[in-house]
């Protein structure tokens, strides 16, 4: 094996969906954008569909096409970027459901695909995507007369349960949608955890399906093992890697593993990150390179063919903290160069 191995536990993913579904007081969909958060979207959606998900959310029409091919005509596939110029044929041919976020998109959809399914996306304060209250008020009756499949908004601070923005957005969403017959959706993973007031008719868990925060009880879904290319002995005073940033303080054994920042292992995490040789922590030495990482295995009594980066000893969230980022970025940075193995 010349590339890192990324193992995806589909059973754990299914268990996470089922647990979040039990917490929801309504139907539960699944957000599978960005290649299923780096896990491989086709295998992910097949397992989630098997487990009970019938609504999938992606960022772009091209992602929706992948899902339609993977799971067939039954599920509803929602496009968060709406009906973009050039997407009409794909949306119409594959029965995708754009979440329209502007008057321009609404007119494009109604004119190009009259009678085709759609949803509406409203801005309740995040100022990212969706119609603002005045804009929505101007077209509300026209939009509702066409029968949207879903009316949704997105919480900006759901990962922080006590943040006042949550209640503010909830009130805004109710003000914009109370009394409509169309199904409503406000909560992703964090919103599900905020409680039933945020659930409405459809919840849309994303990161929680893949083992990330804020769902602290999520089962781990991925593990990453990096194969050793070479082991060398160096003497105290020798340096390792670009820039001579790491100098051996003792005679040491250095293993070079096949992975690097081209595989989503961010350079910034190097000084704080360790791998594992069995039960032994083995720290990264020097800078993470594009295709290789050097690791101090001096204290390991048994050195396996591959070292664990993510798994029993270390989570995606640990790597995120080491890189001063979030689990979303780590997961979605995982490059296709990994050899993917699916279990469960």
**What is 276-302 written as a DSSP string?**
EETTEEEEB-S---SSEEEEE-TT-SS
- Coil, strand or helix at 36: helix
Q: Which residues are catalytic?
A: 33, 242
What single DSSP character describes residue 79? E
How far is Cα 47 from Cα 27, in angstroms, rounded to an integer?
A: 17
How far is Cα 285 from Cα 252, in angstroms, rounded to an integer?
A: 11
Backbone phi and psi for residue 85, each to the nearest 5 degrees, phi listed first: -60, 130
Contact between 32 and 79 under an 8 Å Cβ cutoff? The reply is no
Q: Counting beta carbons within 10 angstroms of the beta carbon of residue 16, is it exposed (0 to 12), middle (13 to 18) or buried (19 or more)?
A: buried
How far is Cα 191 from Cα 217, in angstroms, rounded to an integer?
A: 15
Q: Which two tokens stand for residue 11?
A: 């059973």
Cα-Cα-Cα-Cα dihedral of 337, 43, 158, 59, to 10°?
80
- What's the per-residue H, E or C state across 254-274? EEEEECCHHHCCCHHHHHHCE
| CB neighbourhood size of 134 (10 A) | 7
The angle, 0 to 180 degrees and rounded to 10, between the axes of the packed helices 61-71 and 41-51 is 60
Q: Which two tokens stand for residue 17?
A: 């969906």
18: Cβ–Cβ under 8 A, 6 or more apart, which residues? 51, 52
Verify cis geometry, omega within 30 degrees of 0, for the bond prior to 248.
no
Contact between 33 and 58 under an 8 Å Cβ cutoff? The reply is yes
């Amino acid at each position: 094996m010349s590339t890192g191995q990324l193992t995806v536990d589909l059973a754990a993913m299914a268990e996470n969906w089922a647990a979040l579904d039990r917490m929801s007081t309504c139907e539960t969909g699944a957000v599978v954008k960005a290649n299923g958060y780096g896990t491989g979207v086709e295998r992910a959606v097949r397992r989630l569909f098997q487990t009970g998900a019938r609504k999938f959310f992606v960022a772009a029409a091209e992602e929706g096409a992948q899902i339609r091919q993977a799971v067939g005509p039954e599920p509803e596939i929602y496009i968060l970027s709406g009906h973009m110029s050039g997407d009409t044929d794909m949306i119409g041919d594959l029965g995708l459901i754009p979440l329209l976020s502007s008057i321009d998109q609404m007119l494009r959809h109604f004119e190009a695909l009259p009678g085709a399914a759609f949803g509406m996306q409203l801005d309740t304060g995040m100022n990212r995507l969706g119609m603002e209250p005045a804009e929505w008020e101007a077209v509300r009756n026209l939009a509702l007369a066409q029968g949207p499949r879903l009316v949704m908004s997105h919480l900006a601070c759901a990962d922080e349960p006590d943040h006042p923005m949550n209640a503010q957005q909830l009130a805004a969403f109710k003000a914009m949608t109370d009394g409509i017959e169309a199904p409503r959706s406000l909560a992703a993973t964090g919103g599900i955890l905020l409680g039933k007031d945020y659930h409405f008719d459809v919840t849309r868990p994303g990161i929680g399906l893949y083992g990330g925060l804020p769902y602290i009880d999520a089962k781990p879904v991925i593990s990453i093992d990096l194969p050793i290319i070479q082991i060398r002995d160096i003497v105290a005073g020798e340096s390792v890697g670009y820039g001579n940033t790491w100098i051996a303080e003792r005679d040491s054994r250095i293993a070079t593993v096949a992975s690097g920042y081209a595989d989503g292992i961010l350079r910034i995490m190097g000084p704080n990150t360790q791998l594992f040789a069995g039960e032994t922590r083995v720290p990264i030495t020097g800078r993470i390179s594009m295709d290789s990482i050097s690791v101090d295995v001096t204290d390991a009594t048994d050195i396996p063919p591959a070292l664990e980066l993510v798994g029993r000893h270390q989570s995606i969230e640990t790597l995120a903290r080491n890189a001063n980022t979030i689990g979303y970025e780590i997961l979605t940075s995982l490059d296709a160069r990994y050899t993917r193995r699916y279990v469960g």
